[in-house]
Amino acid sequence: MKQFWENKKVLVTGGTGFIGSHVVEKLVERGAVVTVLDNLQNGKIKNIEYLDGKVIFIHGDCTNLKDALKACKNQEVVMNLAARVGGIEYNRMHQATMLRDNLNIATNMMEAARQSEAERFLAVSSACVYPRDCKVPTPESEGFLSEPEPTNGGYGWAKRMSEALGKYYAEEFGMKVAIVRPYNCYGPRDHFDPKTSHVIPALIKRVFDGENPVIVWGSGKQTRAFLYVEDLAEGMILSIEKYPIPDPINLGTDEEVSIKDLIGMIISLSGKNIQIQFDTTKPDGSLRRNSDNTKAKDKIGFYEKTKLVDGLKKTIKWYKHMVLSN
């Protein structure tokens, strides 16, 4: 509801990033007074520069408690989207760094919010908390059953511990803390660097780079679900507004697609004549991954609005305009 956010002082960490900039955009539309704290390591000022005059920007680092305290001063809501992120190979080789830095961010921001007496705090967790052998669609109850996915162990443990921190801050200090676990997200302003990008931006870049054939590991039969970034931003805002208790909520979509069909859609929308070659000597990985979204529907009334084909059209249009034309 717009009434809740009207003139509300809101801090968004990581607010110049891929997801954060969309959250900032929606908060401004709701009439919030938004401050962004970002070190610009992953984000870009140009993602929010068109909101000039409507957003206060602080260049700082969430791993620095002084910066966190400065940014949190007089804020009513703190939405912590800042994170240290990397590609699969980087994460695998730097597990300690991923654990240390992401836990440090969560600890500093939650403590700074507490000291500043912020009314509410959003802890952004991740689907990486779930173990490899979790059931699918995956309910929130699977989050702590066994070890996180090994290749993302450091990041997964940091997110698990940030959830625990939120729970105990709520119990000891009475903070209103919401926790969300986003699943695969895509859309405009995403990262298209092959070293750090996820499935959809990586495929879009390969198609527009002219790779032919596009070689894909496995059979292409494995299925995934991808949530459009504007829908994810909406889910985050709804969670802190309607469900500010430390009970994790998945933010995902019920629309599943095979990797084979996903690549076919991207090639078709690109207008290019490109072939797909599946390397069946390579593993498929998990045959199916998706979230159980029942709690999000029941607790905050969250439903995805953007169908995959429509989201891909918007993402490709943005990529052609903002990346290829520059």
Architecture category of domain 2-184+227-253+291-304 in CATH: 3-Layer(aba) Sandwich (3.40)
| pLDDT per residue as tens digits for the range 15-70 | 999 999 999 999 999 999 999 999 999 899 999 999 988 999 999 999 999 999 99
pLDDT of 322 strictly over 80:
yes
Give the residue from 163, 172, 309, 176 showing the smallest Cα distance to 250: 163
Burial (CB < 10 A; 0-12, 13-18, 19+), residue 94, is middle
Distance (Å, whole) CA 63 – CA 66? 9
Domain boundaries of the chain, sorted by first residue: 2-184+227-253+291-304
pLDDT of 154 strictly over 80:
yes
Percentage of residues in the chain with pLDDT exceeding 70? 99
Global model pTM greater than 0.75:
yes
